[in-house]
Structure 1
Amino acid sequence: MTSNRFRTVAAIGQATLLLAIWARLQATWALDPRKALTQYAQDVWQIEHGLPSNTITAILQTRDGYLWLATDNGLVRFDGVRFTVFNKTNTPALGSNSIGALLEDREGTLWIGTSAGLVRFKNGTWTVYTTRDGLSDNSVTSLSQDHEGSLWIGTESGGVNRFANGKFSVYTRQQGLASNHVRATYVDRQGVLWVGTTEGLNRFHEGRFITYTAKEGVPPGSVTTFSEDEEGALWIGTATGLIRFKDGTFTSMSKGGFSPRTLRTMIHDRAGNLWVGTYGGGLYRLSRGSWSRLTVKEGLSDDRVLSLYEDREGSLWVGTRGGLNRFKDERVTAYTAREGLPDQWVYSVCEDRDGSIWIGTRGGLARWKAGMLVTYTTAQGLPSNVVRALHVDRKGNLWIGTDGGGLARWSEGRFVVYGKKQGLMGDRVYAVYEDRSGRLWVGTYGQGFYQLKDGRFLGFSIEGDRVRRVGPGIRPQGFVRVIYEDRRGNLWIGARRALFRLKGEDATFYARQQGFSPGELVTSFYEDEDGTLWIGTYGGGLNRFRDGKFTVYTTDDGLPDNVIYQILEDDRGDLWMSSNRGIFRVSRKELNDFAQGKVTSLTPSVYGTAEGMKSSECNGGNQSAGCKTHDGRLWFPTTKGVVAIDPIRFRANPLPPPVIIEQIKVDKNVLDLTKTAQAPPGKGELEITYTALRFL
């Protein structure tokens, strides 16, 4: 959201001021149902931010993009930056500051239900309707519009009113209502009007209301809210629980993790999730048959939820007695100890065949699957709780490299540990990799690297610019953090301040003398579809190896950091890299253009805490410090959890923000924007106040 004032002194020629507002576009996203409620970005606005009251009874976004709020101390218009308050002092038509209902009709007219009558706001003009005009009760509790365009008005004690052709028709107990005290009205897709009263549920049929009772499956008591799902089923909120009506049958839904409480508000979002606001029990979400709950303990401003609304950009707005809440998808999703990780400090992450995400931390191993997280530690047989390396082999076995406990394999629900008995002399395992021929390679911290062959580990020592095979029982030397095989069958070994390429028995050494920038250590490899090898380092930046030549990219060329922990490619050909200064994205084309001298600097996009990371500092120097999963998401370990990135969410918002001119002054005189405005020629002072309505 941007909101600005533009002020200039200029020659003003005779002009006609025309205002064009972009047409509304339907958003193509909603809150990701795979996320825990705590993983959404949350913003809270209260009195200190400009609200006239913390009690938000209704929320509505009108077609021009403004968000309107009903409170017990006035009507509020919100552009994402500023709250504009309308009350009985500055807007006498309101009559009361107690606002209970909002509706925008098909013609774009805003209707406001107050405790002192019904108010219409159209083209800048306020009109009030009260009992003097035929309204049965001035206290308006709900508003709906039917398929014929008639307005239905629920009242506190005067039943339901129908407003059509400028006249009110009144329906009360005499026409079959269970009670004259109306709490909710709703028109379903079939055009049927439903009314919730303090004494039960009603449906309008052929000029009268039919009441549903316990005989039909509707418990006695107050009916407070309605919502319709994508299958056409009507969900009904009551003082005692939740009911679903489909094909003539009422079914209680107050089960499976949902505690019956007073339901005050309810909506289905565009992804099909059901959101339920309760009075005292917080906010509930029903997604994929499972309930989850958010309360004050998890950050909700108040457990008394009064209103819910999904805006055109997919954000969820929650009105409570403690202020206005906005939940939106972070572009980066973080999984932390709050979601159940055994430790915030994450070293490695990988995906197995069934889609499980395995996460190696400083406090154990975690498995994330279908929204559930299971932790494994030494209590379950893990040789060490410090999990550095993870790799899934072609048979589906998970290999775990630990710091101090050696190597383990997770197979058929148990850990099998490998150590000196099998020839693995190093117990600080930082890299595990299987090549295309099925050979398993293991890299260690200061203890060389190994190949698993016929159940035994063969050791290799790094000695200066050489790689030497060592005999059984001899501890190798060398720091190896990453191992990788390219499509030509070369095995690349990332070592301390050096790089080795193994081809059979031959080893080629690369360091600064060969044009390579190793930094302190080599951290990652990635070979793209063109056969170019990209190499990340700790302190040496990014290296490109193609046709026997290295190209080096550093902060001098535009990179945000010279520490590159992991390199992943998305489906559009962009490279994503993790660093100590966030995660950044740069196109392969731009990198290749730099190598060919077509450009002289890089323009990466950098992401950090502003996009949802809990810390911008990533982790790496082990394998694997990130992975791309089958759904296209990119996962990176950080010092505060593991993060998942859906690259699609980093594309431009397809909804252009409507730009609205709110006020124009010429020589300090306000122009009437409801009419064609003209200013005389000559020099003068022009002041334009405008806003761009965007809430992401």
Structure 2
Amino acid sequence: MPRTLSFFRPAALALLLLAATAALAQQKIIPDFSWRVWTQRDGLPSNEITSLGQSHDGYLYIGTPAGLVRFDGKNFTPSLPLERGPTALAKAPANDDLLIAPRSGGIARLTGNELIPQNLPPALAQTPVESVFRENERAYWIGFQGGIALRVEGNTHLVFDTTHGLSPDDPIQFARDGAGRVWLAGGTFLARYENGAILRVPIGSGKERLRIASSRTDGPWIVADEHLTKFKDDAVTHIDKVNTSTGAHFLQALLEDSTGTLWLGTRSRGLRRWTPDGETVRLIQVPEDISALLEDTHGNIWAGTNGSGLLRVSPGTIATFNRANGLLENHSLAVCEDPDGRIWFANRDGGVSALTPQNRATIVARPREWENFSALSVAPAKGGRVWASTPYGIHFITGAGIKHTINDERLTGENAPRVLFATRDGDLWFALPRGAIGHLRNNAVKLFTHADGLSPSRVGTFAEDAHGRLWTGSEDGSLHRLDGEKFLPVPASALAIAGAIQSIHFDRAGTAWIGTSRGGIVRLDAQGARALSTRDGLLSDNITQIVSDDTGDLWLGSPTGISRLDIREIDDRLAGRIDRLQPSPIGLDDGLDEATCLSTHQPAVWKTSAGILLFTTRQGVVAIDPAKVRAARTSLRTEIHSLASDGLQLDSSRTPRLPPRPRLVSIRYSALCLATPGRVQVRHRLTGFDDNWTEADTGSLAEYPRLPPGKYTFEVSARIAGLPGSESRSTLAFTVAAAWWQTLWFYLAATALVVAAIIFAVRRWSHRRLHNKLLRLERDSALEQERARIAKNIHDDLGAGLTRISLLTQSAQKNEGEAQLDKIYRTVSDLTQSMDEIVWAVNPKNDDLESVANYIVEFAQSYLSDAGLRCRVLIPETLPARVITAQFRHHLFLTCKESLNNIVKHARATDVVIELDVRGDDLTLTITDNGIGLLTTTETPSRRNGLKNMRSRMESIGGSLALSAAEPRGTLVTLTARLSHASITP
């Protein structure tokens, strides 16, 4: 049975935590400001910044010793290679162009990418400029080296110098008061400009070093040595006393922002802010040597430094709790909020800690007998208490420390729970490392195992639905729900290949969101389980933490960082209305360098009663205020700056026409967003060339090699992730001219030439073919005439002679040589028949299929009738009119004749069927008898030679011979040939 051990805790700790409870409701977890720094590693040409300015179109211009650069939030673009960089920047009157003071002297107006010199008195044209200040829409001031101030209004110049009291050794400072009047200061000198003159204003003893800044109300801000003052009602009013290190001697920049807060940039103590309620706060972890200050149109404060790059200060949206807040380790394994609103950390080997209203960690003391205090997890308990898991068991902790411990051996050492979960009714569930889970109620522990329906794999996360049912997710990807005393599997096909279940979260609509190790997130509701992964736009497929904020948006933690998903976008993606999700990452824009979110211990993510989201990461517990993230002032504007062909810049104000065959077309563009550049998603495409959009991570240059002639439109589109309606798009149309061989008239002429050549070639080939055909017909005609002459001569001359011999032998048979004469007669008869066959084969009148069929039929009927066999012939009524060669007729007939001869000699048949069939190009002649059939064992050599000769004849005309048994008896001889081999080519 479990045992309960009690420990006494110091009363001082209890009183401290109890006293802090009343202040928790007012606790400000998220700081007022966050900051980000850009250096040369980010593309800044120099870490030394001399001046800052913002143009009317929103770009930040930065003066450095390497020149002037334009910044759009992501990319630093060299604007003008000024010698040693500008010393000062200010907005020009009337049109808000930038006034630029090159270090070499003079003043110029920056209009677009063009630097226009401004007229100055000849005596001051080469004098180095130290400051530039805009008075109003008509006039501006220039401070020159040597104590000279120049007021410029149109073509009117007013010069003030040391004769008016200005110090020759100190740079001139300018400021504007609430009434729009200009003030000048230098060293210990202070004056106000009125009606064409400067009036000295006495202050203090007249020996204090001064720094001044413009103010929206009353007079200007004045720092006199260590005193912060302001002119009110024509008198100096003391406001506050600042540290010596923040006094006028150490101040290098002074700025009042749009909220009335005063920013003080020092040369060795960094950046400080003074609020109207009198609080002076130093921003720690920012560069120390501040050289210039600027507030942009969104209220962000920009600071230039001497050697540390560019600093931006923005309203705070996040906080990170680690060693800087008093925790013993940066990495806390689990986090939760108790019912009284206190935040608790399982700080690994740093033990259990609670957060005070001052955002400092109060560490729970460990018992003396413990060797260490390794906190594995924490979970809220009733009455402002928490449960904590350590290798010594599960502990009940109050404001006074550890009250008692569930010292069950099954829950200690390597079996100590890493996952705790408190249900709404106050019960505690926990997961053991080896697959079982436990339930703690009234200090009694009950374990559930595989026998109770659970997966044998380790449970990694718990969740409770709206009906109070407990859900578990396991490392093998199985999902279970408690039903009574048994766990039932929850089928979800989308989880089959998604890996381990690392997080389960139920939103206010009752939908379950499941984070997996390799399948992204799975949405489980009444419509079933549907997965979303990197293919749908997620930043990672390994989701370790899921939580929803007060608006219903999902926040995801992964090893690659933290991101927000608009719940409406998720619905649109699942419904197929959009192609991809656009998650909004939390990163450098919010002051977060890195966040590695893990899930080995739970709870790894928590939403406080105030709506703050807490994520455990290796770098510390990250607290995010979703409301402040959404409220961050930001805007986006795309712009196409230039078009170049092979390095030659073209005028893009009109539709440019590029020369033919450009080797490389370059287009520079930007997506201006100074507030949240890390959330800007940019893509571009060239209509007429690109099939799809190209995602552009950080680049601002699109290049296209060897564009063919035609009309093109370059499009750049950008949007801020997580901000509906923020899309901005710019287009640029241009034309690539065609070379003379790429023009339409050339194509038409070339086409006509090719067609003419084809016609000529076809006509020539046709004439040659016709000529060859005529020659072949002439040869064939002559050959046919010769064949007819030979047939006629054979028939008339040789036939007549053979007939005469036959008649003579018949008349002489009664003589003594009757036997020999009879033999001669038969030989002559055979020769006569052979001669008739030759004459038939040679005679061109018989070169058709009909003649072949008739001749074979006549011969077969005569031959078989003389042999006493019945003959039946099956021939189609009409045969194709095909002209065939004499060789084909001759070999086909002789093969047929040999087959009939074999039947008469060997088959012992009484009936013979001859069938001729023509199908398409195939001729088939079958001869069937009802004789004794095939007797291969008794074949004579002569018969084998006969079959060989028959096959040879058929093969010579491209045909074949086949022998098979006939039904019910006899032999079937099949002769096949292709008429295409027999036809005479016309």
- CA deviation profile, 1:44-78 (whole Å, cap 9, x unmatched): 138x9574x65422111111344333345655555
Aligned pair partner of 2:464 in 473, 478, 485 = 485
The one of 159, 162, 181 aligned to 2:151: 162
Q: How many angstroms apart in 2 are the aligned matches of 1:209 and 1:643?
A: 55
Q: Please give the secondary structure, in 2, of the residue aligned with 1:186.
A: strand
1:419 aligns with 2:405: yes
Change (3 A) 1:576 1:165: closer
- Matches of 1:602 and 1:158 in 2, distance apart? 61
Q: 2:588 and 2:169 mapped to 1: Cα distance?
A: 50
Match among 375, 384, 389 for residue 387 of structure 1: 375
Pair 1:84 & 2:79 matched: yes
Q: 1:14 aligns to what?
A: none
Verify the 8 A CA contact 2:554 2:567 in the aligned structure 1.
Answer: yes
Which residues in structure 2 correspond to 1:518-537 (within 5 Å)? 523-536=502-515
Residue type at the aligned position of 1:127: P
Give the alignment of 1:583-662 within 5 angstroms.
Answer: 583-586=562-565, 603=581, 605=583, 607=585, 614-615=593-594, 617-630=596-609, 632-647=611-626, 649=629, 655-662=635-642
Match of 1:266 in 2: 254
Question: In structure 2, do the counterparts of structure 1 residues 121 and 372 end up closer, same or farther at CA, with 3 Å as the change threshold?
Answer: same
Q: Is the 8 A contact 2:147 2:161 kept in 1?
A: yes
Task: Show the counterpart of 2:201.
Answer: 211
8 Å Cα contact 1:65-1:693 kept in structure 2: no
Q: Is it true that 1:127 corresponds to 2:117 in the alignment?
A: yes
Give 1:460 shift.
1.3
- Asked if the contact 2:302/2:310 (under 8 Å) is kept, the reply is yes
- Cα deviation, residue 279, structure 1: 1.9
Paired residue for 1:152?
141
Matched, 1:460 2:446: yes
Q: 1:616 to 1:599 in 2, by over 3 A?
A: farther
Task: Decide which of 282, 296, 312 is 1:292's aligned counterpart.
Answer: 282
Q: Helix, strand or coil: the match of 2:146?
A: coil
CA contact (8 A) 1:542 1:553 kept: yes
**Contact 1:574 1:585 survives alignment (8 Å):** yes
Pairwise CA distance, 1:659: 1.3
| Pair 1:226-2:206 in alignment | no
**Residues of 2 paired with 1:466 and 1:548: CA distance?**
28
Question: Using the alignment, how far apart are the partners of 2:669 and 2:498 within structure 1?
Answer: 49
- What is the distance in 1 between the residues matched to 2:214 and 2:291? 15
Partner of 1:10: none
SS at match of 1:624: coil
The answer on whether the counterparts of 1:257 and 1:291 sit within 8 Å (CA) in structure 2 is no
Is the CA contact 2:339–2:381 (under 8 Å) kept in the aligned structure 1? no
1:691 aligns with 669
Q: Please give the per-residue CA displacement for 1:605-624, whole angstroms capped at 9, x wherever unaligned.
A: 38487776555531224332
Equivalent residue, structure 2, for 1:402: 389
Matching residue of 1:376: 363
1:578 match: 557
Change (3 A) 1:255 1:512: same
Q: Name the SS of the counterpart of 1:387 in structure 2.
A: coil
Structure 2 partner of 1:252? 240
**Counterpart AA for 1:605:** P
1:342 maps onto 2:328 in alignment: yes
Greater per-residue helix proportion: 2
Please state how far the C-alpha of 1:151 moved relative to its aligned partner: 1.7
Counterpart for residue 61 of structure 1: 54
Question: Closer, same or farther in 2 for the Cα pair 1:508/1:74, shift >3 Å?
Answer: closer
Picking from 153, 172, 189, the partner of 1:183 is 172
Q: Contact 2:93–2:139 (CA<8 Å) still a contact in 1?
A: no
Instruction: Please state how far the C-alpha of 1:466 moved relative to its aligned partner.
Output: 0.9
- TM-score when scaled to structure 2? 0.54
Letter in 2 for 1:165: G
SS state of the match for residue 76, structure 2? coil
2:501 pairs with 1:501: no
Between the two structures, name the one with larger relative contact order (CA 8 Å, sep ≥ 6).
1
What is the distance in 2 between the residues matched to 1:154 and 1:571?
A: 53
Cα distance, 1:263 vs. partner?
Answer: 0.1
* Distance in 2, Cα, partners of 1:672 & 1:593: 42
Partner residue, 1:23: none
Structure 2 match to 1:91: none
SS state of the match for residue 39, structure 2? strand
| RMSD (Å), alpha carbons | 4.8
Amino acid in structure 1 at the alignment position of 2:62? L
User: Hey, what does 1:5 align to over in structure 2?
Assistant: none
CA contact (8 A) 1:342 1:375 kept: no
Paired residue type of 2:361: V
Identify the range of structure 1 (558-567 vs 337-346) with the bigger mean alpha-carbon deviation.
558-567
Residue among 293, 297, 312 paired with 1:327: 312
Percent sequence identity is 23
Q: Secondary structure at the match of 1:280?
A: coil
AA in 1 matched with 2:487: T
Contact 2:90 2:99 in 1 (8 A): yes
- The CA deviation at 1:586 is 4.7
Give the letter aligned to residue 69 of structure 1.
Answer: I
CA distance in 1, matches of 2:58, 2:76: 13
- What are structure 2's unaligned runs of at least 5 residues? 1-27, 678-986
Contact 1:387-1:400 at 8 Å conserved across structures: no
Q: 1:245/1:433 Cα in 2 relative to 1: closer, same or farther (>3 Å)?
A: farther
The aligned amino acid for 1:618 is C
Return the TM-score normalized by structure 1: 0.73
Distance 1:261 1:254 in 2: 12
Number of positions where the alignment pairs a residue of Structure 1 with one of Structure 2: 627
Taking structure 1 as reference, are residues 569 and 153 closer, same or farther at Cα in structure 2, changes over 3 Å only? same
Q: Is the 8 A contact 1:499 1:511 kept in 2?
A: yes
- CA displacement at 1:569 relative to structure 2: 1.4
- CA change 1:354–1:272 in 2 (3 A) is farther
Change (3 A) 1:97 1:205: same
State the Cα distance separating 1:244 from its structure 2 match. 5.0
Q: Deviations over 1:272-307 (max 9, x none)?
A: 65432212333334468351244xxx463xx43211
Partner of 2:183: 194
Task: Name stretches of at least 5 consecutive residues in structure 1 with no aligned partner.
Answer: 1-31, 89-95, 469-476
Mapped contact 2:52–2:294 kept (Cα < 8 A): yes
Q: 1:659 to 1:494 in 2, by over 3 A?
A: closer
The alpha carbon displacement at 1:186 in A equals 0.8
Q: Which residue type is aligned with residue 311 of structure 1?
A: D
Change (3 A) 1:539 1:57: closer
Matched, 1:308 2:308: no
Letter in 1 for 2:253: T
When Rg is computed on C-alpha atoms for both structures, the one with the higher figure is 2
Q: Which structure has greater strand proportion?
A: 1
